[in-house]
Amino acid sequence: MNRTQLRHQDVLDEHAHSWSPDEARTRFRSGVSGPTAGCAAGHTQANLISVPADWAYEMLLFCQRNPKPCPVLDVTDAGSWTTVLAPGADLRTDLPRYRVWEHGELVEEPTDVLAHWRDDLVSFLIGCSFTFEWALAEAGVPLRHLEQGRNVSMYVTNRQCRPAGRLHGPMVVSMRPVPPEHLAAAIRESSLLPAVHGSPVHCGAPDVLGIEDLTRPDFGDPVDAGPDDIPVFWACGVTPQAAVMASRPPFAITHAPGQMFITDARDEQYRVA
């Protein structure tokens, strides 16, 4: 698969792979929304979670204790909606879609959070596995969700994260079906990018992770696998949302699963070899 094939059919047009990060964010700010897999080739994508300042230390500690699903790329000052990962961008408007949480309950999924923003919010930008999909594709690994124009499948697992104060919850994983002959390349290429989840946490039988039915993901879309494909599971940056649901902080803002913040950072900045 080449870069021109890396796109999502529902929201990103056929040129989305060639958008600059600023162009992508401008489009999202204007109301365009949908999964960002395949968008702005070569630029790092990030998950977002914003919590009140009195929960921020626990969130930072939760991420530090669970680096596989929660690799932190940046943390803002309280009330700030800017990030060094994209100078001039606005974290309140420049993602395709957000989720607003109150006491662990999802209350709204707006395309901007200007009306919900608070001066005490601390934002965490967490690495996203969409970033390493370019490396997988260039190594010849098929990406079924992109071939099918779907969001990646994500599942809540039976693996509990290490808690931090009031924050606790299960690890979430993303799944990509991989043909056996491409499995080694998928593991190798993703392992070179630990800041965006790195190597898989499991390959093969989903029941080991407590996943009963791959056709019913907890987030994202079901993806059709090839007859010999092996389900490969990577730790996922939706894990903090699972922690929000389990821990029930009074307020939080997150990205909608699969609808990421496009940074100005280049993927190679996070490659370790």
CA separation for the pair 258, 268 (Å, rounded): 21
CA separation for the pair 113, 80 (Å, rounded): 13
CA separation for the pair 128, 73 (Å, rounded): 10
Helices (H), ranges, 93-202: 133-138, 144-147, 183-191
pLDDT of residue 10 exceeding 70, the answer is no
Mean pLDDT in the chain?
Answer: 94
- Report which secondary-structure segment, H or E, holds 21: helix 21-29
Q: What residues does each domain of the chain span?
A: 131-239
When comparing pLDDT for 241 and 3, which is higher?
Answer: 241
CATH class given for the domain over 131-239 = alpha beta
What integer pLDDT is reported at residue 12 of this predicted model? Answer: 55
Band of residue 155 on the pLDDT scale cut at 50, 70, 90: very high
What integer pLDDT is reported at residue 273 of this predicted model? Answer: 75
